Amino acid sequence: MSRVALATLLPEQPIELRRADEHWNAVAVPTTWSRLVLANLAGRNGAVFEDTRFRHLVWVIPSGGADEWPEAHGMGVIVYRTGEQLAVPGLGGFHGSHWLRTPSQQLLFTDPDELRTAVEKVAGPLADAEQLGPMVVCSYCNTPTRDSKIINTWTSPCDGSVHNDYVCRGCDSARGR
């Protein structure tokens, strides 16, 4: 099955819109805190790519693997279910979007239960996403927080996108502001 899934996942172009199908789905987590999820998975993940345009890490999961997950748009978590489209880079990547862990027949899927556990360990229960709201990571202590302020705004020289750096309340107090 992973051979067919791999064929329907990987584009022939450097990047292409692909439709999640009966073989694979995907879960996207905001780049601001997705690397903490990746660290919590501790290598127990399948293929994952960075989508620099939409600022997500995207994990490939078996089709239907996250169908029972609650909507978590308030946290910025997006589940691409069967029939939904997302931009997938080819094996060589495209303008910054690239595979962090290349898909193969032997290494394609991340276990959706392990992924959800890692996401909730970092961000809290998905069922509470709307009440908890968006989260960022403190630029000083690298801790996820919902109680922060912007300390720096900068524009990427590569694509002109605007980025913010944040500080949590504790680090901001320690800085004396």
pLDDT in tens, 25-78: 999 999 889 999 999 999 899 999 999 888 899 999 999 999 999 998 888 999
- Do 104 and 166 fall within a single domain? no
- Do 169 and 82 fall within a single domain? no
pTM of the full predicted structure? 0.86
Which residues pair with residue 164 across a beta bridge?
153
d(CA 172, CA 136): 14
pLDDT category at 146 given cuts 50, 70, 90 is confident
- Do 150 and 98 fall within a single domain? no
- Do 118 and 160 fall within a single domain? no
- Do 66 and 123 fall within a single domain? yes
- Do 106 and 164 fall within a single domain? no
For 151, the domain range is 137-174
The whole-chain average pLDDT of the chain stands at 89
Number of domains within the chain = 2
pLDDT category at 177 given cuts 50, 70, 90 is low
d(CA 81, CA 69): 11
- Do 106 and 123 fall within a single domain? yes
- Do 102 and 157 fall within a single domain? no
d(CA 10, CA 141): 37
Beta strands in the chain (DSSP E): 15-19, 24-30, 48-51, 56-62, 78-80, 85-89, 98-101, 136-137, 144-145, 148-155, 162-168
